[in-house]
Homo-oligomer: A and B are copies of this chain.
Amino acid sequence: MGLRLYDLAGAEAERRFSPYCWRTKLALTHKGLAFDTIPWRFNEKAVIAFSGQDRVPVLLDSDQVISDSWTIATYLEDTYPDRPSLFGGDAGRAVTRFVNAWADVVLVGGILRLVVTDIFAHLDEKDRAYFRETREKRLGAALETVSADRETNVLAFRKTLEPIRTVLASQPYFGGEAPAYADYAVFGCFQWARCISSFPLLLRDDPVWSWRDRLLSAFDGFAGKALGYSV
């Protein structure tokens, strides 16, 4: 049986927007591994209870069940060592963990505040009450309040991307001449926004835009073909 991935979906089954699932999908694609996705929604926690936790991504590989995007990436690297490397060795893997952690804190945290009402609007009706309750608790305010000042807040968000621009001034990808998991860890966050929101997060003259564009085109446009917005 081939690889199968439980992948967060909106009201439309083809709207796949989890930043963590995008990391996993790019990692699988980088490894050249074929996989099927199973659309999953927040109210289907019982469906993935067999994984011992209640979040996606959950990857099935024959009799193996792996959850958490970082754990999945290291599983794929160790299980398929003859395929293109995600980390380029142990040191690369260790340092990539920082990029992953930075993306989790700065990008997921920053982008959530900018697109949270757009996420809500794209959710299946059954997911909305859960999403509003958990996210308003996490953010400490109503979703609409959090995103009300986004035209201003996005300016500060763009400044937090400065270390990415420094890297891109010297090399086309975090991974160097070719993309690696560090790229996917960061790209997943932008792809999350792009699949769920028409809000312009990046400006077209930003080097981060060009880098994202290269990744949207990578692997025959795999990520670029996803249902989303051209922003």
Whether A170 sits at the interface, judged by CB under 8 Å, is yes
B98 touching A182, Cβ below 8 Å: yes
Q: Interface residues of A toward B: which range?
A: 20 to 34
A180 within 8 A of B: yes
Q: How far is the CB of A174 from chain B (nearest CB, A)?
A: 6
Give CA–CA (A90, B177) in the complex, Å.
10
B94 touches A163 (CB 8 A): no
The answer to whether B90 touches A176 (Cβ under 8 A) is yes
User: What 1/0 mask marks residues of chain A from 80 to 113 whose CB sits below 8 Å from any chain B CB?
Assistant: 0000010111111111111101101110000000
Which residue in B92, B105, B163 is a CB contact (below 8 Å) of A166?
B105
CA distance A95 to B93 in the complex (A): 9
Measured in the bound complex, the distance between the Cα atoms of B91 and A101 in whole Å is: 18
Which of B92, B97, B99, B163 lies in contact with A171, CB distance below 8 A?
B97
